[in-house]
Amino acid sequence: MQPKTAAAGAQAEAPSEPVLRRLRVSMIQRATLTVSGHEEPVFTMDVGLSGVFVEREAPLPVGEQVGLSFPLPGNAIPVSARCRVAWRHAPGTPLVSKSLPAGLGLEFVAISELDGTRLRELLLDHWRRDPRARQFARQWPEDAEDYGP
């Protein structure tokens, strides 16, 4: 009988790709949103492999391209991505599954392989650490402007 290696144990604990793609990690971090060449400070609220939610009062049109730079917890090197506004949450609009401030659901359009790997590792670490802390994203609405019930 061969001894179990750490890598083998970690691999066995990894979720399937569809599960990993739905996983969201609460992550309140300062970030920089670039809209039409102008930078503005925002906060991320949660992140997944497909995108990130950022707090922002002023709406942007669904489909608009923006840039986003944000650090991952415990790492000062920022993740940089080109994003598309996939949906927006208007102030005061209730959500069925969770409570969010006004903001934007940003879908990653272009992210470096290295940053994608770092993001994947964050999600895997979250998955392995505490099964009760797992959070899953609802499907992002197709061509929706406001996300609510």
Span 21-46, pLDDT tens digits: 888 888 899 999 999 999 999 999 99
Count of C-beta atoms within a 10 Å radius of residue 111: 19
* Choice between 10 and 19, residue whose per-residue pLDDT is larger: 19
Q: Give 109's pLDDT tier (boundaries 50, 70, 90).
A: very high
Write down the pLDDT at residue 60.
Answer: 94
Kindly compute the dihedral angle of the four CA atoms of residues 41, 46, 48, 51, in this order, to the nearest 10 degrees: -40
What digits encode the pLDDT tens for the residues 43-85? 999 999 999 999 998 999 999 999 999 999 888 899 999 999 9
Q: What CATH number labels 20-132?
A: 2.40.10.220
Q: What is the DSSP letter of 36?
A: T
Share of the chain above pLDDT 70, in %: 73
> Under DSSP, is residue 121 helix (H, G, I), strand (E, B) or coil?
helix
CA dihedral of 127, 75, 139, 97, whole degrees rounded to 10? 80
Question: CA 83 → CA 69, 109, 124, distances in Å?
Answer: 10, 5, 22
What does the domain layout of the chain look like in residue ranges? Answer: 20-132
Q: How far apart are CA 87 and CA 118, in angstroms?
A: 25
The partner residues of 107 in beta bridges, in order of sequence, read 51, 84
